[in-house]
Homo-oligomer: A and B are copies of this chain.
């Protein structure tokens, strides 16, 4: 296997012709393959089909006697508050269970802090040009929220153990206009890395210049292990111990546990923060759909069953992640034209092409019918400074389609790389 950088122009030219021919054949097949988003597959959704029918005509009361059909309740029925609390190692009064969208919980939380401020704080919008730290590559929809609220984004480099904590400590302690940071601490979107104990402890011990600085801890993949169950440290307890009890909002979701579009989500924080948030909820909503909560309570019963259920997801997902890695290994290994992650959980594989090729690779894939997340989406404002990061979302397509998509992806990477060296 010869590295592309070692090839001369004649070799590269021959290679390019060969790759163009292979690429044309893929194009001719006219496939439509979608790997844009972290979406569960039909198989995964079917794991919960009993939830479609788990209520009988007599099942409408929660454990505390609440009629789940009627109005009432802002923070979830007791059964599901307990499930989330157990999974996150918290108490139920540190948990607010919401509707089907944790994105909505995050959006609302940022919105209210911009317009009204954190508990005992001033509106962020009254304090000047507010900024968030954005470990990158990261989750595009976090960045979209910042964009929507005109919050400046400062990219922070991601490493194997989490974001660059030296940089974060320096910035957070010196700039009172830095009001937040987005974190996906476990199986980070898209790199799949898990924050180390040391990283999480340093987060809890931050000494922000702004008393109203908040960590947005989006634990979207809290229980989404592909292999053995991995526990991360409890950020809420650590913040408490470090004298920062109100500094963190934790978000979690059953979107990739039960039904992606019809699940329940949760926000967790100090009891004091939760009380403050519930005051707003009184003005904002009649509360979440309690029948959906009840379905989850009846189907899952407790946290232990949830964990057992997640192993069924893992059984479906493991072959897909293996296939992606196998294809990348067999086609690209040793060529010096890309690196990629091999995550132990979560929903993504992160691929880094040679600098300047991510947009080209995504465009080539699109020509051949493979839809990928737009290049750059994993960086604030859609701007990947190296134009190298591509998020691969292997969960939705069936194995056969995923194989075809990865074949096309690998040819696209090779072709774009050959072009680059030829034009160098």
Is A114 positioned at the interface, with any CB of B under 8 Å from its CB?
yes
Question: Taking A261-B68, A261-B69, A261-B71 as contacts, is the C-beta distance between A291 and B115 under 8 angstroms?
Answer: no
Task: With CB as the reference atom, state the residue of chain B lying closest to A49.
Answer: B57
Give min CB distance, A70 to chain B, whole Å.
Answer: 5
Tell me the complex Cα distance, A53–B255, Å: 22
Question: Taking A55-B53, A56-B52, A67-B42 as contacts, is the C-beta distance between A262 and B286 under 8 angstroms?
Answer: no
Give min CB distance, A16 to chain B, whole Å.
Answer: 38
Residues from chain B with Cβ under 8 Å of A330 in the complex: none
- The answer on a CB contact under 8 Å between A141 and B283 is yes
Residues from chain B with Cβ under 8 Å of A70 in the complex: 39-40, 45, 259-261
Q: Is the interface of A mostly helix, strand, loop or mixed?
A: loop
Give min CB distance, A79 to chain B, whole Å.
Answer: 15
A59-74 vs B, CB cutoff 8 Å, 1 = contact: the mask equals: 1100000011111110
Most buried by B among A55, A114, A260, A261: A261
Tell me the complex Cα distance, A111–B111, Å: 9
A204-216 vs B, CB cutoff 8 Å, 1 = contact: the mask equals: 0000000000000
Give min CB distance, A300 to chain B, whole Å.
Answer: 16
Chain A residues within 8 Å of chain B by Cβ, number:
56
Tell me the complex Cα distance, A282–B60, Å: 32
Is A107 positioned at the interface, with any CB of B under 8 Å from its CB?
yes
Task: With CB as the reference atom, state the residue of chain B lying closest to A292.
Answer: B289
Question: Within residues 164 to 220 of chain A, which ones have a CB less than 8 A from any CB in chain B?
Answer: none
Question: Taking A261-B72, A283-B145, A290-B261 as contacts, is the C-beta distance between A53 and B50 under 8 angstroms?
Answer: no
Most buried by B among A53, A73, A144, A280: A53
Question: Taking A69-B259, A70-B40, A261-B69 as contacts, is the C-beta distance between A103 and B50 under 8 angstroms?
Answer: no
- The answer on a CB contact under 8 Å between B103 and A285 is yes
- The answer on a CB contact under 8 Å between B69 and A260 is yes
Is A136 positioned at the interface, with any CB of B under 8 Å from its CB?
no
- The answer on a CB contact under 8 Å between B52 and A52 is no
Tell me the complex Cα distance, A288–B292, Å: 12
Task: With CB as the reference atom, state the residue of chain B lying closest to A106.
Answer: B284
Is A135 positioned at the interface, with any CB of B under 8 Å from its CB?
no
Tell me the complex Cα distance, A166–B45, Å: 57
